[in-house]
Amino acid sequence: MSEHETNRQLEQDSVREVMEAMMTYPGKADAGDTVLFCDARPKVEKPYRGIIEKFLNWARANSLWVLGFGTGCGAIELRPLMTSRYDASRFGVAGRPTPRQASVFIIGGYASVKTLKRIIRSYEQMQNPKFVIGLGSCTINGGMYWDSYNTINRLDHYIPVDVYVTGCMPRPEAILAGFVKLQELIRAGKAEKANEYAENFDWYKANQKKIIKNWDMPDYSW
Amino acid sequence: MKYEKIEELLSAMWEKTGLGRLGTGTADSPETAVTGAAAAAVHQQIQSSDLAFVKVPADRGRHLIMDLRDHFGFTHLVFLTASDYIESGVFTLTYMLHSYTRHWDIGVQIDLPREGSTMESIHDLWAQAATYQRELREMFGIDFPGSPRIDEPFILEGWDDVPPMRREFDTKEYSERTFFPRPGRSTNDPAGYMRQKLYPKE
Amino acid sequence: MKSEHTTHLHRKTDPAPVISFSHTAGSRVDLSSGKYLKLWQGPQHPGITGNMSLEVTLHGDEVVDLRTHVGYLHRGFEKLMERRTYMQNFPIVCRICVPEPDFNEYLYAAAVEELAGIEVPEKAVWLRNLSLEMARLTSFLQWIGGQTGAFGMGTIGQWGITHRDYILDLFEELSGGRIYHMYIIPGGVRADMPEGFPGRVREVLNKVEILMDDIERAMFYNAIFKMRAKGLGIVPHSMLDSFGITGPIARAAGAARDTRKDQPYLLYDQLDFKVITGSASDAYERAWVRFQEMHQSISLIRQMLDRMPSGGAIHTRLPNPLHWKIPAGQTYRRAECTRGEYGYYLASDGSGYPRRVYVRGPSYTHAVALMETLAIGVNIADLAGLMVSFHTYPPEIER
């Protein structure tokens, strides 16, 4: 065999050893593996004072950009929201494709354990100021999947929630009422849940790690 | 071959496989194949004029399915699922086959023991069978050796408990243990409860 | 010597580059050669239908390997349904398939009625059929937005969703809910049509027809849509049975299969419609077949409104739902939903709880085996369009 082929063979052998020794499928918890993702501790952002903060709050409230992640059933009512009939754009609400550009994360309905890991990852990638709206009864107390082995019961134990909109699922007008309420909270300076997440980071992480066993992300190649 | 009724096709099928027939039923008095009683290893139940269920032993299952597909025109695998009859200690696999020319369905049912259950894979007959088999492996623990990607988790992630669709798995208890249930109201008088909550002084 | 391309960001504590094994076991291509790029078109992405991920391996712009990952919407329905009585099941059953929930309600009710031997009154059958066809129309209107949006034409999606809203208003009048109606229950339907309902339905249908003329011009005569959709994802006829393909995908490939004609349920044997087939079996043809089926739905709704009986019971008397036991048995009911064959397998054991309810959704076969095979060789920009042309919707894959 040429040297290249020998090296390739050695590489494949070592890959096989690694494969046998390590996880055999994604999701299987690896004892003793250092968890590398989603461990970065966020910082508490102290608000400015007085009129600057009022101005910033006004600006934040009038430009709530929603992350495009339809996590559950509730996402189906987000689409009519963006049409001219219910017209969310008059509130400054627009949909954005990436977490880096979004400030509101709408959790539409139930969150399975698999989705919760992605929700947390997207939430932690969003930059401050960020807000979370929980849609539907599934985020409040598990809804009609309260006894399911795969959906979480209380969203606010895993990520902080600013506004809950009840319903199953909430009408677009109800979601707009949720946005209005969120705007009120922001203007009053009370929508500080992102800071609460940073302050109680350990508690949230402990809850998350209780159900999410494997934080590893699938490999990319570049 | 033209068959007028599904019973005729089933007779021809039994003849071809040479399994014989025990405990036949008609649409008027369907034999219940669902109590899982191990009385009849070979069984037929005609549910309606276009749907029948047949039960065969596990080692003849694949052969019968291939016969139905190749000779009798049941070319469409509708689904492959399993039901747990814990009181009889069996999983009942159901392969539902459909014939587009005759518009009939036949459900081939196979009983497997609940512990260490394996069944021959049919992923070479239908491509989508691999997906169904992955789900059964994950949800029930039934193994299909040779099926592609059978060991990879399909729906659940990080699951280390009993395969969830088994009847000994209590989903409510698991949910209360793992997730944080919000305590509910403990009274059945909602009006009184809300009055108490909103106007406590009155 | 290990290639530098296999250094991953994972093991920061491990100094030597290690190929961290995850999903790539048995991958069809050799990732360490450096020629390929692996991406995840994951659950947080505007370019997928619903909540599933595509693990894409690219060579330049072309997809060489694809794996679909589902399970983000798994709620354990089948386990939950075993814990609830038959009557308690019907509110949750409609949530299995989000765009067209009525099929779930109808199939569950039909399976229970078959096992329990319940007769449904005639008016209820007409109302059931009406709500099923209206659900088909709403699902198609939502799909058309997805198909055009995947190719960059966002306006048609806005039109489609707005008109779908009008139909959802009608549903709200009829059943009280916009999306989840919980209208079809074992024994009949929950309520009769309100006053003047047929007139309002006809108005909305007229509006939808005007819209469909606009959509036809904007979408099917559009040079860019034609260029991108023609030749995309051709499904050869030989794959139909070996992959379990049903619905408009099979019809666009030339197979004249429609459950409403082959095994008529409800009133489809009395209504007048044709099975629409195509031949070119690419994304354009599938879109065309679905578009014609939208016209067909409108015509069916009009026929039903013309011929519906004016009075009659809408629900048979059922025994006390808290103590209702269904005799032991098993059955399989199927219906033709927008995406293909939808079926419910129900096995009862004589107690008040179902023993096993299995939901057979069309996307189960389309989104996993079919998608992984047909995406090979497709341009990455067209991957979303391919997925929407199969009209896969994840909630019913993992229930």
ipTM here = 0.84
CATH architecture of the domain formed by B6-156: 2-Layer Sandwich (3.30)
Whether the Cβ atoms of residue C331 and residue B107 lie closer than 8 Å to each other: no
C322: contact with A, CB 8 A cutoff: no
In the listed set C69, C99, C126, which residue is the last one of a domain according to the structure?
Answer: C69
The span from the CA of B130 to the CA of C244, in Å, is 12
C1 to chain A: closest CA residue: A7
Of B12-26, B62-76, B142-156, the poorest mean pLDDT is in B12-26
Co-location of C288 and C243 in the same domain: yes
CB B81 within 8 A of CB B94: yes
Tens digit of each residue's pLDDT (9 = 90 or more) over C132-146: 999 999 999 999 988
- Alpha-carbon gap: B77 to the closest alpha carbon of chain C (Å): 6
Among C48, C69, C90, the domain-final residue is C69
Contact B156 C79 (CB under 8 A): no
The nearest CA of chain A is from the CA of B168 a distance in Å of 13
Residues C386 and C353 in one domain: yes
Q: Among all chains, which residue has been given the structure tokens 């496989």?
A: B17
Residue A28 token pair: 């299987």
* Interface membership of C55 toward A (CB under 8 Å): yes
DSSP, collapsed to helix, strand or coil, labels residue C374 as helix
Q: Would you give the end-to-end CA distance of chain C in angstroms?
A: 46
* B34 closest CB neighbour out of C255, C263, C329: C329
Please give the pLDDT value at position B195.
Answer: 82
| Chain C closest-CA separation from residue B189 CA (Å) | 20
Contacts of C91 in chain A (CB under 8 A): 144
Chain-chain contact of A113 with B171 (C-beta, under 8 angstroms): no
**Inter-chain CB proximity B127 and C242 less than 8 Å:** yes
CB pair distance less than 8 Å for A216 and C83 = no
Helical H runs in chain C? 77-83, 86-93, 102-116, 122-150, 154-175, 197-215, 223-229, 239-242, 248-252, 259-262, 283-307, 363-365, 371-374, 383-389, 395-398
pLDDT for residue C317 = 83
Confidence of residue C351 (pLDDT cuts 50, 70, 90): confident
Q: Is the pLDDT of residue A25 over 70?
A: no
Check residue C273 and report its DSSP letter.
-
Assess whether C155 and C251 both reside in one domain. Answer: yes
Q: What's residue A222's pLDDT?
A: 43
Residues from chain B that touch C243, judged by Cβ atoms under 8 A, are: 126-128
Whether A148 sits inside 8 A of C80 (CB atoms) is yes
Point out which residues pair with C188 in neighbouring strands: C185, C315
| CATH hierarchy code of domain A66-211 | 3.40.50.12280
B153–A154: do the CB atoms touch at under 8 Å? no
Check residue C231 and give its pLDDT: 84
**Phi, psi (degrees; rounded to nearest 5) at A102:** -110, 150
**Eight-state DSSP code of residue A40:** P
Inter-chain contact C262–B103, Cβ cutoff 8 Å?
yes
| pLDDT(C206) > 90 | yes
Tell me if B128 and C364 make a contact (CB, 8 A cut-off). yes
Comparing CB atoms, the residue among A67, A169, A221 nearest residue C36 is A221
Mean pLDDT over A73-100 rounds to 87
Looking at the fold, whether C168 and C271 belong to one and the same domain comes out as yes
* H or E stretch at C59: strand C53-59
Q: Which of B152, B157, B164 sits opposite A114 (nearest CB)?
A: B157
Q: Are A130 and A104 in contact (CB under 8 A)?
A: yes
Among C45, C69, C93, identify where a domain stops.
C69
State mean pLDDT over B132-153: 87
| Predicted pLDDT of residue B14 | 78
Instruction: Answer yes or no: is pLDDT of C397 > 90.
Output: no
Min mean pLDDT across B131-135, B175-179, C7-11, C167-171 is at C7-11
Instruction: Give B177's contacts in chain A (Cβ within 8 Å).
Output: none
Please, which residues 49-88 of chain B have a Cβ atom closer than 8 Å to chain C? 50-51, 53, 75-79, 81, 83-85
- Most trustworthy range by pLDDT among A26-35, B112-121, C199-208: C199-208
State yes or no: pLDDT of C153 exceeds 60: yes
Per-residue pLDDT averaged across B166-183, rounded? 85
Per DSSP, chain B holds a count of helices (H) and strands (E) of: 5, 5
At A7, the pLDDT band (50, 70, 90 cuts) reads low
Res. C386: pLDDT tops 70: yes
The whole-chain average pLDDT of chain A stands at 80
Query: Would the pLDDT of C203 be above 90?
Result: yes
Cβ pair B7, B46 in contact under 8 A? yes
Mean pLDDT (whole number) for C385-399: 87
Q: Which of A18, A69, A72 sits opposite C19 (nearest CB)?
A: A18
Predicted local confidence at residue B183, as pLDDT: 77
pLDDT in tens, A193-219: 888 888 888 888 888 888 888 777 666
Confidence of residue A24 (pLDDT cuts 50, 70, 90): very low
Cα of A181 to nearest chain C Cα, Å: 23
Contact A219 C161 (CB under 8 A): no
Number of domains comprising chain C: 2
pLDDT at C9 over 80: no
Which chain C residue shows the shortest CA-CA distance from B155? Answer: C71
Q: For residue C330, give the nearest of B34, B75, B77 by CB distance.
A: B34
Q: Write the pLDDT tens digit of every residue in A136-156.
A: 888 888 888 888 888 888 888
Residues of A in contact with C68 (CB under 8 A): none
Residue-level pLDDT at C167: 92
SS3 B35: coil
Contact between B79 and C358 using a beta-carbon 8 Å cutoff = yes
Q: Do A216 and C22 lie within an 8 Å CB cutoff?
A: yes
Q: What is the pLDDT of residues B14-56, one digit of tens each?
A: 777 776 554 444 433 444 443 333 334 677 888 888 888 888 8
Whether the ω angle into residue A169 lies within 30 degrees of 0, i.e. cis, is yes
CA distance C100 to C94: 8
Q: Tell me the nearest-neighbour CA distance from A47 into chain C, angstroms.
A: 30
Residue C83 is part of which domain span? Answer: 77-398
In chain A, domain spans: 66-211
State residue C107's pLDDT score.
92
Q: Are residues C9 and C94 in the same domain?
A: no
Is C147 found in the same domain as C30? no
The pLDDT of A31-54, averaged and rounded, is: 70
Gap from B10 CA to chain A (nearest CA, Å) = 41
User: Rounded to an integer, what distance in angstroms lies between the CA atom of residue C194 and that of residue C131?
Assistant: 14
Q: Which residues of C touch B127 (CB under 8 A)?
A: 242-244, 369-370, 373
Are residues C140 and C45 part of one domain? no
pLDDT at A3: 58
Subunit contact C369:B165, Cβ cutoff 8 A: no
Compute the average pLDDT of residues C297-311: 89
Of A28, A152, A213, the CB nearest to B179: A152
Which residues on A lie below 8 Å from C24 (Cβ)? 219
Q: Is B172 within 8 Å of chain C by CB?
A: yes
Q: Is some CB atom of chain A closer than 8 A to the CB atom of B179?
A: yes
Quick one: pLDDT at residue A11?
61
pLDDT (tens digit, 9 = 90+) per residue, A157-179? 888 999 999 888 888 899 999 99
**What confidence score (pLDDT) does residue B115 get?**
85
For residue C5, what pLDDT is reported?
38
d(CA B43, CA B46): 10
Percentage of chain C surpassing pLDDT 70?
92
C-alpha–C-alpha distance, residues C288 and C284, integer Å: 6
Helix (H) or strand (E) holding B46: strand B43-48
Query: How large is the average pLDDT for residues C201-209?
Result: 92
Q: Number of A to B CB contacts under 8 A, please give it.
A: 67
Same domain as C98, residue C153: yes
Q: What is the pLDDT of residue A18?
A: 55
pTM: 0.84
pLDDT of residue A65: 92
- Could you tell me which chains touch chain B, where touching means 3 or more CB pairs under 8 A? A, C
